[in-house]
């Protein structure tokens, strides 16, 4: 009986090691692909969205800052402009409804770009949720909900998943996430 148990354990360990080796190979292949430079150029985007918070509120200044952080995290060029409107009691007063205008550049794949427009870029894994990056929090679900079309339509993505499920008057760590590979500069912009 002992020899049979030892053989089964050895087979189980062998299968686990084979699975781990295959997983590691796939992960390394994915990393190698994301390290290959991609022909790209900056493209301008001008768009607007509404923030309508039932659970959360922001000041106009605070919302401009948060939107700027999110867009930079996604790979927008650092000369972006964010303007929040609708804070009738002033830019430092909390409000639940704000109209936001953004003017920014993000990378798009080109084939091939002109020499003047050429930007070295790479597909970069990205994960945005209530815990990552550190400037995000549980109260940001309604903001991500308002921004989801901006994020989907104005950045170059591979394998994009956007899940937003905001429950009124409830905060959760898993009520939103944006995940995929986004085209970003190979060097700081």
Place of tokens 């898993």: 174
Where residue 28 falls among pLDDT bands split at 50, 70, 90? very low
Q: Distance between CA atoms of 140 and 14, rounded to whole angstroms? A: 45
**Which element (helix H / strand E) includes 163?**
strand 157-164
Predicted TM-score (pTM) of the model is: 0.78
Per the CB < 8 A criterion, the answer to whether 58 and 128 are in contact is no
Q: Is 34 helix (H, G, I), strand (E, B) or coil?
A: helix
Lowest mean pLDDT among 71-75, 144-148, 165-169: 165-169
Average pLDDT over residues 179-189: 85
Q: Is 183 helix (H, G, I), strand (E, B) or coil?
A: strand
User: pLDDT at position 32, please?
Assistant: 42
Where residue 117 falls among pLDDT bands split at 50, 70, 90? confident
Between 15 and 47, the higher pLDDT residue: 47
Bridge partners, 99 (sequence order): 50, 85
Asked if residue 18 has pLDDT above 80, the reply is no
């Amino acid at each position: 009986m002992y020899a049979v148990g030892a053989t089964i354990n050895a087979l189980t360990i062998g299968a686990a090691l084979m699975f781990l080796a295959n997983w590691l190979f796939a992960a390394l292949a994915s990393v190698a692909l994301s390290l290959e430079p991609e022909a790209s150029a900056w493209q301008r985007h001008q768009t607007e969205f509404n923030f309508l918070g039932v659970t959360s509120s922001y000041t106009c200044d605070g919302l401009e800052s948060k939107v700027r952080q999110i867009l930079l995290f996604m790979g927008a060029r650092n000369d972006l402009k964010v303007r929040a409107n609708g804070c009738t009691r002033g830019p430092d007063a909390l409000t639940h409804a704000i109209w936001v205008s953004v003017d920014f550049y993000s990378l798009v794949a080109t084939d091939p770009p002109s020499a003047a427009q050429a930007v070295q870029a790479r597909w970069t894994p990205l994960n945005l949720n209530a815990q990552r990056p550190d400037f995000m929090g549980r109260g940001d679900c309604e903001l991500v909900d308002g921004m989801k079309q901006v994020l989907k339509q104005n950045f170059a993505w591979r394998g994009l998943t956007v899940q937003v499920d905001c429950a009124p008057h409830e905060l959760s760590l898993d009520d939103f996430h944006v995940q995929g590979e986004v085209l970003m500069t190979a060097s700081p912009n």
